[in-house]
Structure 1
Amino acid sequence: MREYIYMDNAATTPVKDEVLEEMMPFFKEKYGNPSSIYSLGQTSKVAVEKAREQVAKSIAAKKEEIYFTAGGSESDNWAIKGIAYKNKKKGNHIITSKIEHHAVLHTCEYLEKDGFEVTYLNVDKDGIVDLEELKNSIKDTTILITIMTANNEIGTIEPIKEIGEIAKSKGIIFHTDAVQAMGNIKIDVNDMNIDLLSMSAHKVYGPKGIGALYVRKGIKLDSLITGGGQERNKRAGTENVPAIVGMGKAIELAYENLEEHNNKLISLRDNLIKKIEDSIDEIKLNGHRTKRLPGNVNFSFKYIEGESLLLSLDMVGIAGSSGSACTSGSLDPSHVLLGIGLDHEIAHGSLRLSLGDFNNEEEINYVVEELKKIVQKLRMMSPLYDKLEGEK
């Protein structure tokens, strides 16, 4: 039987051997609490600070500007709520986009209920924010702009440096959710004028349940979690030392091999896109064709449902994901696909295949062959497709 083919690396990645090896001693032999002053605790503290340095180096930040969290969602919540409440006497207006991750959108919706005003920017057909609309949306009360570095569904990379320049020129704090971008594109927080940046380890072959928030020196924000003096009195809770160590190692590896990683994934990605377009009709590539994450492929297939496509792929040993949110109990299609102008019908038939370090050309060929057969089979069962064929 063929080994299972995993093409959902945007959802999560496997922990690399080198990362796990680095983590293992901190579960048993080096289990001390970093807050303890004796040697066992100080061993853990040294490991945490090493990881902090590894994470900081990857984005050209200072070590003391990195705060560890429980993941990307916490980092987004902390950045947005922390800035909002710290600056509410200065203003109550926040700018974001319609295609952000729900960790950002739901946080903004939460703040709206507490008296804050949020502007949700439109994006073009490729998912790129309109810089003129951004400029025109700025008010005297604007305290925060939060735009993701790259979209988790369609892979489009936003003009973050230009957004950062706009924010800086207006004296507005700029936060970016870089969870999907980390380990895939080079990020320099100084060159890109980023004030706060969210990241997560499990997207870069690190463990789940650990993330970090970059906070530029001088930026003040309220704490989200209180109760202890950890993370320089900013984020309470005993540090998850093994996970922090794993995150540091994973990010270090990602940026040591960034060019090699990108060249491989771009080649596989473009080949997969071409083969799907050559093999299957009535489809649409979602996201910008070139300004997209190296491993992201997102297509909409007319006349079929994304969930049926996913289940059929799983039956032949292939893991992907759908833009439709049906699996979470909703019948609504992806807000990202609707945001780029797709109608409900075609948005429901979406498939995201996200490639990673362990995928290869042989897998690409197998996936395309199986996908072609599955799409044909599902369309033959579709009354809409049957009607189209009858009209030809």
Structure 2
Amino acid sequence: MEIYSDSAATTAIDPEVIETMLPFLTTNFGNPSSSHWAGRKVREAIDQSRKKIAKLLNVTPEEIFFVSGATEGNNLALSESIREYGLNHAITSKIEHKAVLEPLLRHEREGDIEISYVKLDKKGNVDLEHLERLLDANPQSLISLMHGNNEIGNLTDIQVISRLAKKYNAVFHTDTTQTIGKVQLNLSEFPVDFLVGSAHKFHGPKGVGFIFINMRHKLKPRILGGGQENGQRGGTENVIGIVGLAKALEIAYRDFDLIKEKTSALKRRFISEIENSGIENVGYNGESRSETKSLGSIVNVSFPCLQSGSLVSKLDQFGIAVSGGSACSNLGNGGSHVIRAINNEADKENVRFSFSKFNTAEEVEHIVQTIVNIYNADSIPIEPNVLHQSFTWIH
């Protein structure tokens, strides 16, 4: 039995999205930059996709630009705003995605900026008072803080941060890769400068995303040639991906309440099953146990280390896909930078389970039962062939 519980990494494409994309793999194959009927038909599809996304986010179509994904969008926003506005100070946190941290660290190494890291509490929440002190000491800073953390699910109050950014004349960039499609964002309610998302996180195709650039800004393009995307990004557009992105976001907003209710119920059930499983010394990283302070689709659990290897690897052997940032000394990989920043507890294996609308309660029960069986087997020295026999029922 194969179970996919790693939707924070990527999601299955929704069948409706595939249906929307298919014509652009067959009959609607024109180059959108061509002036003839075949090109105009495809150009119209791109324009309609841009308008659809803008309407859902309550911004203007001129503020939405298509890119290859959030990583490109993050790099564009950070690097080009530093260059365009001569920014010399950036504020971020130590639990941001590497697509944010690595560009900022490169600029620091090159002498362009100095980085300040906002304080986090033991659960990874941003200390907003410390953020304001940093802004007071360093006005006109670049702020880059994500909306929802990809490992622990923590939600950050970007509305409050946007108001602080405005007060101190700062530039505010937020990575919403994990929250687009899972949280209904109305960008008319708060003045974000740059915001990014990737389609494959909300049941769209891989290799396409978008960046919102507030109309107050005009960044220089990082990819030159052709003048596409109103001069912001050269190169023939990924038409198939763009129409899939727009459709996926449309579905996410259309079915928002149903999807949120289902994934939250799966998360609650998983936590309940784990806490009644009999496995001792289980904890939760960040706010991932909370229904209000973290995403309803992510739970990051710290398990006692197995004697016989990695829990993530063992689950994979039984067809269960999850992600891990293990800190167990016997695994020797040091763990994830997010967990290290908020949790000094060694001898725990940290595993992220992330659910989507395609998961079921039966799958949740099967995952927990498999974990229980793995721990039961690990507590007794068993020959490998006997261990295999004891788990044959799972396959």
Same topology, TM > 0.5 = yes
Residue aligning to 2:286:
287
Report the Cα offset of residue 287 of structure 1: 2.1
Is the 2:139–2:168 contact (alpha carbons within 8 Å) kept by the matching residues of 1? Answer: no
* Cα gap change, 1:222 to 1:142, in 2 (>3 Å): same
In structure 1, the gaps of 5 or more residues are 382-392
Residue aligning to 1:175:
173
For the residues of structure 1 that align with 2:240 and 2:138, how far apart are their CA atoms? 45
* Cα gap change, 1:28 to 1:269, in 2 (>3 Å): same
For the residues of structure 1 that align with 2:73 and 2:357, how far apart are their CA atoms? 26
Is the 2:140–2:171 contact (alpha carbons within 8 Å) kept by the matching residues of 1? Answer: no
Match of 1:112 among 103, 108, 112: 108
Residue aligning to 2:131:
134
Residue aligning to 1:316:
318
| CA-based RMSD | 1.9
Equivalent residue runs for 1:10-25 within 5 Å: 10-25=8-23
Residue aligning to 2:371:
371
For the residues of structure 1 that align with 2:217 and 2:363, how far apart are their CA atoms? 46
Q: Which amino acid aligns with 1:304?
A: L
* Cα gap change, 1:363 to 1:343, in 2 (>3 Å): same
Residue aligning to 1:122:
119
In structure 2, the gaps of 5 or more residues are 382-395
For the residues of structure 2 that align with 1:96 and 1:62, how far apart are their CA atoms? 28
Q: Which amino acid aligns with 2:375?
A: V
Q: Which consecutive aligned stretches of 4+ in structure 1 deviate over 6 angstroms post-superposition?
A: none
Residue aligning to 1:151:
149
Equivalent residue runs for 1:65-84 within 5 Å: 65-84=63-82
* Cα gap change, 1:124 to 1:173, in 2 (>3 Å): same
For the residues of structure 1 that align with 2:211 and 2:308, how far apart are their CA atoms? 34
Q: Which amino acid aligns with 2:119?
A: N
Is the 2:327–2:346 contact (alpha carbons within 8 Å) kept by the matching residues of 1? Answer: no
Identity within the alignment, %: 39
Secondary structure of the corresponding residue to residue 195 of structure 2? strand
Equivalent residue runs for 1:261-340 within 5 Å: 261-279=259-277, 280-288=279-287, 289-290=290-291, 291-304=293-306, 308-324=310-326, 331-340=333-342
* Cα gap change, 1:305 to 1:229, in 2 (>3 Å): farther
For the residues of structure 1 that align with 2:55 and 2:282, how far apart are their CA atoms? 41
Report the Cα offset of residue 380 of structure 1: 5.1
For the residues of structure 2 that align with 1:60 and 1:324, how far apart are their CA atoms? 40
Report the Cα offset of residue 192 of structure 1: 2.9
Secondary structure of the corresponding residue to residue 218 of structure 2? coil
For the residues of structure 2 that align with 1:179 and 1:367, how far apart are their CA atoms? 26
For the residues of structure 2 that align with 1:306 and 1:196, how far apart are their CA atoms? 46
Per-residue displacement from partner, 1:66-114 (whole Å, max 9, x unpaired)? 00000110011011111111011xx310111110000001111111122
Report the Cα offset of residue 189 of structure 1: 1.6
For the residues of structure 1 that align with 2:356 and 2:218, how far apart are their CA atoms? 37
Secondary structure of the corresponding residue to residue 67 of structure 1? strand
**TM, length-normalised to structure 1:** 0.91
Is the 1:19–1:250 contact (alpha carbons within 8 Å) kept by the matching residues of 2? Answer: yes
**TM, length-normalised to structure 2:** 0.90
For the residues of structure 2 that align with 1:135 and 1:5, how far apart are their CA atoms? 44
Is the 2:226–2:235 contact (alpha carbons within 8 Å) kept by the matching residues of 1? Answer: yes
For the residues of structure 2 that align with 1:379 and 1:235, how far apart are their CA atoms? 56
Q: Which amino acid aligns with 2:134?
A: S
